[in-house]
Structure 1
Amino acid sequence: MESHKDFMFAAVFLLAFISYGEGIIGGREAAPHSRPYMASIQVQEGENMKHECGGFVIADQWVMTAVHCLPTGPNGRKVVLGLHSLSEHEETTQMFDILELHNHPDFNQANFDNDIALIKLDRPFNTSDAVQAVEFLRAGGVTPDTGAEVETAGWGSLDDLETRPDKLKEVVVDVVDSNRCRRGDYFGRKFTDNMICAHRLCSDPCNKPYRKEDSCDGDSGGPLLFNGVAVGITSNGGKKCGQIRKPGIYTIISHYTEWIDNTMAPEEPSN
């Protein structure tokens, strides 16, 4: 009995050490439906739907996400808007099939360059307090500079142990100098001019000294926001979530204005 207690204590201690060392991603639960542009991309798992990736509404019938969320096509996935909890029934939710998926043609699997995709829903969504589009930064707009406070949100893992939240979480992070993210001990040559990196190192009031706040697995495809405008898409930082030298990486949306406009342009009627 005593050895069992010792084992349990050791396990709890180890879990706490891993979590607070570089696993717990910080942040807080968002106010319900305070981010009405958030989308959950879900896949069928048995009789239930399981959250797999994030996304965000940018226009009527259009959701932006990351290519690596759906690299081989929709494959029966659904897009859910207007939700806060992944498990509780909410009258505000709207579920959609994916009518069209447009992955950027220059996406690079090796380094996740050009990690941007557009989803056309099978029908227009009903605008409400819980479902609305968010503005995104276009060409000519100013991408936030080093040290700027930016925000991201999602239902991604709380730690590297893949502990998932039920309710939407949000976090404020700081833009990291791109030159630092290009260093060999960070991302090296995998970090391109189409990327921005961000995280937050903090002590109080973050409860634990030097805790790292960051995006993680399952947050992919969600937005990075600056002054309420989407400037980035959560990309491949989630592979090393919470590590000091592996900030979250986000695709810079303004670099793709022409591709976005051409993709979303209404088809010309055939004669």
Structure 2
Amino acid sequence: MGFLRLFFTSALLYASLLPGDCITGGKEAKAHSRPYMASLQLGGKHQCGGFLISSQWLMSAAHCFQDDTGFKVVLGAHSVSQPEDTKQTFDIAAYYPHPDFSTENYDNDIVLVKLNQPVTETAAVKPVKFQQAGGTDPATNAEVDTAGWGANSWGQRLDQLQELTITMLPRHRCNSYGVAFTDNMFCSAKPRMDTCDGDSGGPLLYNGIAVGITSNGGRSCGSTRKPGLYTIISHYSDWITSTMTK
């Protein structure tokens, strides 16, 4: 995620506590069980996640597009490096970061990405529904899930898609971020279970609906003091609708 949330200190101690060698406490997903997942790649290497929301549009994190925007978008992947018949690769026709995205605290960390052509829907490539204004966002202690190809506890990027079930935390648990934690963010984690560097842009799902976007967090993935932060999708319904009609 943002700020390169890797375990640079006490790596051996943390590794001994984690339940698996995957995105900080998660597990490998069943291949192609999340057909909306997208890998944003530069030079064939995964950089950020995203998720398909219609035949030609992705949602991701705006901060992924700060430095380099020449991504290839790969859908239908389980392994990001190995050839798979299910994969579909696209160029980006246009991308639209939210106009109020802040590079200082990642407020409004959402971007809409238009592919150069519509996808071919298959069992491995399908859009996911996302939360609209007026929908029910997850309450405190609700279980949510997410996925990505981000780093593990050793700071290594993983080749197979990983998934994770975590818990929505009360807003006061995120006060350690100070003004960096805004009304447009959720915080969610479990002890030693978290998204990490490279998972940015992926979805946070509640009952199968994308309610958040993986955004950023503390420097150490899995820290109970600084849990992961997620952009609240339902706050952007009007902007999403107007942008996708351009």
Alpha-carbon distance in 2 for matches of 1:239, 1:61: 34
Aligned match of 2:158 in 156, 165, 176?
A: 165
Cα separation, 1, equivalents of 2:188 and 2:211: 12
Q: Distance in 2 between matches of 1:26 and 1:145?
A: 22
How far does the alpha carbon of each residue in 1:42-84 deviate from its partner, in whole angstroms, 9 at most, with x for none? 001xxxx10000000001100000001012552x211000000
| Equivalent of 2:64 in 69, 84, 90 | 69
Q: TM-score, normalised by structure 1?
A: 0.83
1:29 shift after superposition: 0.3
Contact 1:220 1:238 (8 Å CA) reproduced: no
Q: TM-score, normalised by structure 2?
A: 0.91
1:163-206: per-residue Cα shift (whole Å, max 9, x none)?
A: 11110000000001012212xxx2111100000000012xxxxx
SS in 1 for 2:189: strand
Give the match for residue 38 of structure 1. Answer: 37
Aligned 1:1-271 pairs, distance under 5 A: 15-20=11-16, 25-44=24-43, 49-72=44-67, 74=69, 76-159=70-153, 161-182=154-175, 186-201=176-191, 212-237=192-217, 239-265=219-245, 267=246
RMSD between superposed Cα atoms in Å: 1.6
Q: 2:190, 2:222 within 8 Å by CA — same for their partners in 1? A: no
Partner Cα separation in structure 1 for residue 24 and residue 14 of structure 2: 12
- Shift, 1:15, TM fit: 4.3
CA displacement at 1:148 relative to structure 2: 0.3
- Total equivalences in the alignment: 234
For 1:146, what is the secondary structure of its paired residue?
coil
Percent of matched pairs sharing the same residue: 53
Which protein is bigger by CA-based radius of gyration?
1
Larger RCO (CA under 8 A, 6+ residues apart): 2
Q: C-alpha distance in 1, partners of 2:11/2:170?
A: 32
Unaligned runs of 5+ in 2: 1-9
- CA contact 1:53–1:219 (8 Å) conserved in 2: yes
Task: Check the 8 A contact 1:25/1:214 in 2, yes or no.
Answer: yes
- The answer (yes or no) to whether the contact 1:216–1:239 under 8 Å persists in 2 is no
Q: CA deviation at 1:19?
A: 2.4
The 1:65/1:239 distance shift into structure 2, 3 A limit, reads: farther
Question: Gaps (5+ residues) in structure 1?
Answer: 1-13, 202-211
Q: 8 Å contact 1:26–1:171 — kept in the other structure?
A: yes
Hey, which bits of structure 1, 4+ residues long, moved more than 3 A?
A: 20-24
Please give the secondary structure, in 2, of the residue aligned with 1:89: coil
Q: Tell me the equivalent position of 2:7.
A: none
Contact 1:217 1:239 in 2 (8 A): no
Report the Cα distance in structure 1 between the residues aligned to 2:200 and 2:169, rounded to whole angstroms.
Answer: 19
